[in-house]
């Protein structure tokens, strides 16, 4: 059996990935910060499917909390094959209107958080010379978005970090890949009006926005043995909006 830790796993793309992994019979650790009730409910759902599952709390911006989270997972599972870095926060607004605290929090969660999680699982994966890490970026990390300069910057950093870490860890048989979703129907995009969503759907070659399950499918593929010769890659489930 494989075991996975999914940060930001209580909702959206992370929760969809957890459900898909569980259907494949993988043990799941749901990482969350504030949404304990949602995480616990999801764990119950996983256990009802007959797979080991637990909820673990941490602010990924805090390295000490992440160390503790990973220690708890390893104490429970004794093994960790897959890390999915799905935790993230967004900010929409003119760059002139974002203050220093907001800027730092975006980078602390979206960039530092990925590094903290990778750094914490690596001693275990390096010892076993095996592992798969999947980071979650955004199509805005590839091309940038007006009024989302700070968010785009963090997601671009995630892509660069993924590519560099893949080169570093490849000799140890640890793969590192990235999923860069387009517009997905999640809480993070709840600020978009129906009119905005319709415009984005019209601009998308496939004529619609995506679902969390479609993004999760890309994550699951990269995490699986089916992608055993893929590392340092970015898969972008975005309906063709960014090519």
> Is 151 assigned a catalytic role?
yes
- How many CA atoms lie less than 13 Å away from 168 in the CB half-sphere? 11
pLDDT band at 174 (very low <50, low <70, confident <90, very high): very high
Looking at residue 193, its pLDDT comes to 77
Q: Which pair of structure tokens corresponds to residue 42?
A: 């999801």
Residue range 103-143, pLDDT digits in tens: 999 999 999 999 999 999 999 999 999 999 999 999 999 99
pLDDT at 206: 98
pLDDT tier at 53, thresholds 50, 70, 90: very high
* pLDDT over 90, % of the chain: 94
* Residue 233 Ramachandran class (φ > 0 left, ψ -120 to 50 alpha, else beta): beta
Does residue 54 register a pLDDT over 90?
yes
Query: Full-prediction pTM beyond 0.85?
Result: yes
pLDDT beyond 80 at 17: yes
Q: Which domains does the chain have, with CATH numbers?
A: 3-235 (3.40.50.720)
- The closest alpha carbon to 85, from 148, 160, 176, belongs to 176
**Mean confidence (pLDDT) of the chain:** 96
Any residues with CB less than 8 A from the CB of 122 and at least 6 apart, and which?
169, 174
Write the pLDDT tens digit of every residue in 62-113.
999 999 999 999 999 999 999 999 999 999 999 999 999 999 999 999 999 9
Confidence of residue 13 (pLDDT cuts 50, 70, 90): very high
Pairing of strands 3-7, 82-85: parallel
Q: What does DSSP assign to residue 133?
A: E
pLDDT at site 186: 87
Confidence category of residue 37, pLDDT binned at 50, 70, 90:
very high
């Amino acid at each position: 059996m494989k075991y996975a830790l999914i940060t930001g796993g209580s909702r959206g793309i992370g929760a969809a990935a957890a459900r898909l992994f569980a259907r494949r019979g993988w043990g799941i650790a749901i990482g969350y910060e504030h949404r304990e009730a949602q995480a616990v409910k999801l764990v119950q759902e996983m256990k009802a499917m007959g797979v080991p599952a637990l909820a673990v709390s941490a602010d990924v911006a805090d390295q000490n909390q992440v160390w503790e989270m990973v220690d708890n997972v390893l104490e429970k599972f004794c093994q960790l094959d897959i890390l999915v870095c799905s935790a993230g926060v967004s900010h929409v607004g003119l760059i002139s209107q974002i203050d220093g605290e907001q800027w730092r929090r975006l980078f602390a969660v979206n960039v530092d958080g990925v590094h903290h999680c990778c750094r914490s699982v690596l001693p275990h994966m390096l010892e076993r010379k095996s592992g798969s890490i999947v980071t979650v970026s955004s199509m805005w990390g590839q091309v940038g978005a007006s009024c989302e300069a700070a968010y785009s910057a963090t997601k671009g950093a995630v892509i660069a970090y993924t590519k560099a870490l893949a080169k570093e860890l490849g000799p140890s048989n640890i793969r590192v890949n990235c999923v860069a979703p387009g517009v997905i129907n999640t809480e993070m995009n709840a600020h978009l009006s129906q009119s905005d969503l319709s415009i984005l759907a019209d601009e998308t070659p496939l004529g619609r926005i995506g679902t969390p399950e479609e993004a999760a499918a890309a994550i699951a593929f990269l995490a699986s043995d089916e992608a055993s010769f893929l590392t340092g890659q970015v898969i972008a489930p975005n309906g063709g909006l960014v090519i």
